[in-house]
A = this chain, B = another copy of it.
């Protein structure tokens, strides 16, 4: 497939179905291109007219003299394929299809869409849409869209925005403009019959004029491409901030009815975002808050310490609350810093952190300026937030003060200005000072910036290990379905996953012999290719202390399994050594339709079953990534040792996760599922005591 440069940066554009009525869908893009001064050639195509909007109008694409880079198609759905054939004959490399009436319209539409995609592929045309609002490259004034957004100014700027939703994307673009965020690109990918959101994001982030990429996502098709996007953006030093809907079951159901395709397992998407050092925003406002912070900051914070300077003690408390919830610190300032602040801040203010300069600074602006500079100079502070409110009469003084602070410090800071006037917001943004409407949004944005800075450092340090990841191919058994316990043990053991010793036994005698070999106490578990969940059929007996107990247990589990599942083929039992551990983990492997092999880790019992507290990553993972997964779990304090127990060997847990993830990556798509549950972890190491493997 050729790249999509001709689509994003065409030197000439043809518009099929062009109209001179600039209010109509098929007239708007032409009007925008003319009004906003697109420098390339514009070729209206419509057999009904000789000229359109003062330009020569051609009866068809082939009648256009000279080359055409991009064709905008705004004809009825059933005429689109014919138009693309004509575009192919003309040698046009890219098309944007505004027309609707495709996949979104049921089976007939889907058939039409497949035909259009096939035509484009055969003719070597890269296609955006159908059912798209189109795109804007504001740098080159390519306004190839009929979006309401283009009704207003579309100033170029360092933000690229790619959206799978037209209507919602238009609103987000308008909100970005209100904040003075220049969108260098605005692209709606529509039905994605050819070009998808990932490919567009990769192309946009490659533009050197783009510094931050924002994306609105409903569902991904290309997981590996998404991972490459993350790598490329990280290498280029450009944050990627994404809103993806379909976080919950209800959302996923709504998304399925909306997009006609499942949104994918949200936890897998989330894991891929974290793995790649991208940033996930909760909603459009949160996304733009984060984008605004990034566009206004020259430096990234070197740590998690927030310095809060306010004119209200309560606002400081509110921000400290939010910082703690997000895992940031609000360090008590060094004695020297506090001593210096005490000379500046009024007696009824506060010099710890938050620092409360009180409204007195209006009488003497030095108070605020010097306080912020002192706080930012404290070695434990890595990023600052200045909180203030109203101050209609003091906008110029304050904005000047922020600029002075910026000139005197190398550490990043944000401004939170509650109930600011439009004048105040505009003046801050004109000077590239990120400004927020409330303390919580400001702390949320700071947390995203700090998280990104940490990801950058982590991924840079871990880069050699990531590059070195080369999971050896795994030869899986031919047979589909449940893999016999001992065969699964051999496969996982060869891959370096520690498992308790296990023996297969056909009858009580063999089981006793196995137990003697393993050493008592042992566990006995039913073995059947038809029984995945052994506990549910009464097929497990634990802590058997001697031969008699083993003999009884074999009889009992076989009887119970037969009673529960008369149809199941019972092959015997597995005898296992008993293992010990302070903490139960669950490690899982799956083949995700979008991302391929993925690894999942969580704590066993209530945390994973009731609270769904799991961390997910595309496989394979490095040691650092595996440790990152453990840090992400809400129950992570369990690993530090609860009730006076010594800490769990985190490195051993990470090794197990790495080994399992490498196995998944080596095994490929036939590995449907591996469930290591429970994995027992303690100070002396880790071992899986039960495992389940299913092949496709």
* Residues in A lying within 8 Å of B, measured CB to CB: 100-101, 104-106, 109, 131, 148, 151, 164-168, 170-172, 174-175, 178, 216, 218, 243, 245-251, 253-255, 257-259, 263, 282-285, 311-318, 320-325, 329-330, 347-348, 350, 352-354, 356, 358-359, 389-390, 392, 418-419, 437-441, 535-536, 603, 605-607, 609-611, 634-635, 637-638, 642-644
What is the CB-to-nearest-CB distance from A342 to chain B, in angstroms, rounded to a whole number?
A: 12
B330 touches A254 (CB 8 A): yes
Residues B312 and A168 in contact, CB atoms below 8 Å apart: yes
Copies in the complex: 2
Please indicate the chain B residues that have their CB under 8 angstroms from the CB of A320 in the complex.
248, 250-251, 253-254
A390 touches B148 (CB 8 A): yes
Closest B residue, CB atoms, query A356: B258
Are the C-beta atoms of A324 and B439 separated by less than 8 Å? Answer: no
Answer whether A323 and B250 are a contact pair too, CB < 8 Å, given A106-B347, A390-B148.
Answer: yes
In contact, A284 and B251 (Cβ under 8 angstroms): no
7 smallest beta-carbon distances between A and B, as pairs: A258-B313, A251-B321, A171-B389, A165-B314, A167-B312, A250-B324, A245-B317
Point out the residues of chain B lying under 8 angstroms from A644, CB to CB.
Answer: 536
- In the complex formed, the residue of B with least CB distance to A634 is B611
Whether B247 pairs with A321 at a CB distance below 8 angstroms is yes
**A255/B317 in contact, CB under 8 A:** yes
A148 to B362, CA, bound (A): 13
Q: How far is the CB of A38 from chain B (nearest CB, A)?
A: 23
Beyond A178-B419, A606-B607, A610-B634: 5 further Cβ-contacts under 8 Å?
A165-B315, A167-B312, A167-B389, A243-B318, A254-B354
Known: A324-B248, A325-B248. A313 touches B259 (CB 8 A): yes
Identity of the chain B residue whose Cβ is nearest the Cβ of A312 in the assembled complex: B167
CB neighbours of A611 from chain B (8 A): 611, 634-635
For A245, what are the chain B residues with a Cβ–Cβ distance below 8 Å? 314, 317-318, 321
CB distance from A219 to the nearest CB of B (A): 10
| CB nearest to A218 among chain B residues | B314
Q: Specify which of B283, B418, B634 is in contact with A438 (CB 8 Å cutoff).
A: B283
Supposing A100-B348, A104-B348, A258-B350 touch, asked if A282 and B440 sit within 8 A by C-beta, the answer is yes
Return chain B residues, CB-CB under 8 Å to A389: 167-168, 170-171, 174
Kindly list chain B residues whose C-beta atoms are within 8 Å of the C-beta of A247: 321, 325
How far is it, in angstroms, between the C-alpha of A358 and the C-alpha of B131 when the chains are bound? 12
Contacts of A283 in B (CB 8 A): 318, 322, 438-440
**Alpha-carbon gap, A255 to B389, bound state (A):** 19
The contact of A606 among B311, B439, B603, by CB within 8 Å, is B603
A258 and chain B: residue at smallest CB distance: B313
Cα distance A171–B175 in the bound complex, in angstroms: 23
A382 CB to closest chain B CB, in angstroms? 16
User: Is B359 touching A285 in the complex (CB atoms < 8 A)?
Assistant: no
How far is it, in angstroms, between the C-alpha of A109 and the C-alpha of B255 when the chains are bound? Answer: 61
Nearest residue (CB) in B for A350 is B257
Contact indicator A419/B165 (Cβ below 8 Å): no
A-B contact pairs, 12 of them (CB 8 A): A131-B348, A165-B312, A243-B318, A246-B321, A247-B321, A250-B321, A251-B324, A254-B316, A254-B320, A254-B330, A254-B353, A258-B317
Contact of A258 with B635 in the complex, beta carbons under 8 Å: no
In the complex, what residues of B have CB within 8 A of residue A170's CB?
A: 389-390
Complex: A105 Cα to B100 Cα, angstroms: 69
A167 lies within 8 A of B359 (CB): yes
B418 near A330 with CB under 8 A, answer no
Bound-state Cα–Cα, A148 to B165, Å: 43
Q: How far is the CB of A161 from chain B (nearest CB, A)?
A: 14
- Residues of B contacting A178 in the complex (Cβ-Cβ under 8 angstroms): 419
A218 CA to B312 CA, complexed, in Å: 12
Q: Is the CB of A315 within 8 A of B418?
A: no
Q: State A486–B394 Cα separation when bound (angstroms).
A: 69
CA distance A321 to B269 in the complex (A): 15
CB neighbours of A605 from chain B (8 A): 606
Residues of chain B with a CB closer than 8 A to A418's CB = 168, 171-172, 175, 284
A354: nearest residue on chain B (CB-CB)?
Answer: B254
Q: How far is the CA of A439 from the CA of B283 in the complex (A)?
A: 8
CA–CA, A252 and B330, complex, Å:
12
Q: Give the residues in chain B near A324, CB-CB below 8 Å.
A: 248-251
B254 touches A317 (CB 8 A): yes
Question: Distance in Å from the Cβ of A527 to the closest Cβ of chain B?
Answer: 21
In the assembled complex, how far is the CB of residue A543 from the closest CB belonging to chain B, in whole angstroms?
A: 13
Q: How far is the CA of A313 from the CA of B256 in the complex (A)?
A: 10
